[in-house]
Amino acid sequence: MLSKTLFQTGSGLARSAAAFSTSTTKQQQQKYDALVVGGGHNGLVAAAYLSKSGLRRVRVLERRPVLGGAAVTEEIVPGYKFSRASYLLSLLRPAVMDELELKKHGLRVYLRDPSSFTPVLGSEKSLLLGMSAEENRRQIAQFSEKDSMVFEEYEEKLNTFVDLLDPILDLSPSELARIFGQGTSLRERIRRLREVRGPLRKAARAAKEADLAALYELVTAPSEKVKNTV
């Protein structure tokens, strides 16, 4: 059973989280199946999966009066709310949303367009990027005509890398080690290959379209070298 802190919002959440810091001696002596230190978004996901796996007593410990970590939205300036750090959901895996039924529990995802705004210090210029390729070119051309002409090609190349890596992003190294490592029986290898063959097939198909040399350079070379090859 997850601590009730995970399911409260607003002032109730603050009171419940604050109660952790003033736990009585009796509460501190209670036994739990798992303790998760830190009630950030990763800690909450970990606690939810631990509970989902069958552990009955999972407790999340958080120093702050609010849960969520980098994903918290707070009123930093009076009258205005900001995300503390997380500005995108790009790393919230679809599998996590599905397995924890986040949409059922109130998750709403909104498409950002424009997607980014970058002011230039000491200048009236700014860079505003969004879904329109034509508008993106116009914005980038303020600073570099050359970059504006190749930006769309650059994004297309990145998308081929996404198609290659996304299917295998949810596979853990331990899963692959059990397949290809020494000491694994042939029957076990076949069983595990069947479990991951879908993602591996998708990645293999995407690899035919991707520039693997460019991908290798992107993840290993200095950014200046990568920038100059676009």
Tens-place pLDDT, residues 75-86: 989 999 888 888
Q: Looking up tokens 């992107």, which residue turns up?
A: 218
| Partner residues linked to 74 by β-bridges | 82
Say if CB 89 and CB 70 are below 8 A apart: no
Q: Indicate the average pLDDT of the chain.
A: 82
Confidence of residue 16 (pLDDT cuts 50, 70, 90): very low
* pLDDT tens-digit readout, 151-185: 998 899 889 999 988 888 888 776 667 777 777 78
* pLDDT tens-digit readout, 50-102: 999 999 999 999 999 999 998 898 998 999 988 888 877 878 889 999 999 99
Residue 38 CA to residue 59 CA, distance in Å, equals 10
Say if CB 192 and CB 177 are below 8 A apart: no
Q: Tell me, rounded to whole angstroms, the distance of Cα 68 from its chain centroid.
A: 13
Say if CB 80 and CB 64 are below 8 A apart: no
* pLDDT tens-digit readout, 40-50: 999 999 999 99
Residue 211 has pLDDT above 90, yes or no: no
Residue 161 CA to residue 167 CA, distance in Å, equals 11
Model pLDDT, residue 136: 96
Model pLDDT, residue 174: 65
